[in-house]
Each structure stands twice: as C-alpha cells, then as structure tokens.
Amino acid sequence: MNKVTAVILGLTLLAATAQAQTLSDREAIKAAMECFYQWDLYGGKENSSKCISDTVIYHRIDENGGHAFGTPVLDNDSGKGADALIHNLVDIDIYNDMAVVTSLHRYQPEAPRNTYVKNLVLFKLAEGWRISSVAWGRVTNTQ
C-alpha cells in the first residue's frame, strides 16, 4: 500500500468515526429532549435529573417586550398534564460538546396564540447531554 492510499484510508476511517460520534450524539440529544418533554408534561426529579442541568436558566420575552428569566423548580411533581400540549422537535445543531435545539410547543386546544418556540442549549457533560438554557416565546401569525 502506498502512502497516498494509506492517508486516504486513514482519513476515511477518521471521517467514519466522526460521523458515528455525531449520530450517537444526535440520538443522545433526541433522548434528552424526549426526557425534557416528559418532565414538561409530568414533572418529577426522576425526569429532570436525566436531561436538565441543575443550573438551567429559562429566558422569555413577554408580549410587552419585557425580559423574564429564572430557574424552574426541577423536582416539582406536577407538570402541565398529559394532554396539555404537543411537543415537536424541529432542528438539532451540534457543535462538538454543545448543541442548539429548536422545538415547537402547541398548547391544547390548538390555537395560534397557544404555540411557542423554544431554543434549548445543551452541553455534553460527564453524565451526558444536559439542557443548560431555554429561551422561548410565542409564535405569532406573522412568523
């Protein structure tokens, strides 16, 4: 095997390894999001501890342009309820050990004023992918 072939083979193996890592990260992020959705619906530390950082910060801009932020109570055993809303994962962008996820949340009954978009930042920590920041706001008919 000549040097050029060896280099190409090495780069191909490296790219395949990186691709596999990205796919496994993508699946782990999807699992973290499913965990987040369960916590959103039902609450409970058993859900939040698997996917949400204890230092998570929620950000929201209200209809008047005011900024509200804070840390939710993660061990609260009451969520929004099984039929309260529908979650839809829209996009996942992975940047090494950080990911940005876009998700739509439609509260029931479905109406334009009941739809929110959330952008979540996740970090790959020693214990796995954890949500560290959530920014959200209402989706309007003009968006």
Mean pLDDT of 78-93: 81
Q: Output the domain CATH number for residue 26.
A: 3.10.450.50
- pLDDT in the model for residue 13: 52
Number of structural domains in the chain = 1
Q: How far apart are CA 12 and CA 142, in angstroms?
A: 46
Mention every residue, 6+ apart, whose C-beta is less than 8 A from residue 96.
124
Nearest to 120 by CA among 136, 98, 101, 94: 101
pTM over 0.85: no
Q: How confident is the model at residue 106 (pLDDT cuts 50, 70, 90)?
A: confident
* Residue 134 maps to a domain: yes
* Residue 129 maps to a domain: yes
* Residue 45 maps to a domain: yes
Q: Give alpha helix (H) positions in the chain.
A: 3-42, 45-48
Residue 59 is part of which domain span? 3-138
